[in-house]
Amino acid sequence: MIVILWNKLAANCVINPLTSLFCCTNGELLLEPSFLEMQENILMEVANVAADEMRKFVTQCILDTRDNKSSMYQDIMKGQHTEIKHLNGYVVRKGKEMGICCPHNEDLYQRILELQNQSSSSSSLSS
């Protein structure tokens, strides 16, 4: 839900003021190179603010759950499959589709897959 709100905010931050200032339709924003540059600059600022909000949110989650063991950690301890493909793996796949290198997510993804495989092998041997 938060992503939808940030996407809507980003669209409105670009479209509404630019069409108002330049007396143009929404579609005309895609035709003028200077409009495209402005859009990119606006979106970078929105993304930076969103990133800062995400950092605060993650920090608060860590503080609120400081004594918990994450579900992934518990899955690894039980020799079960994790949700890594749907988390960091998703980021890696989307990054590749978009031409964005995600080395940290790729590293975590590969390392957790290895750990998951080792854990699954160990638990099946002890069964």
- Work out the widest C-alpha separation in the chain, in whole angstroms: 71
Tell me the C-alpha distance between 86 and 81, whole Å.
11
Give the integer Cα–Cα distance in Å for 31 and 48. 26
Residue 62, CB-side half-sphere exposure with 13 Å CA sphere = 6
- Cα–Cα–Cα angle for 72, 75, 80, nearest 5°? 130
Q: Catalytic residue positions?
A: 8
Q: Angle at the Cα of 77 (from 67 to 74), degrees rounded to 5?
A: 40
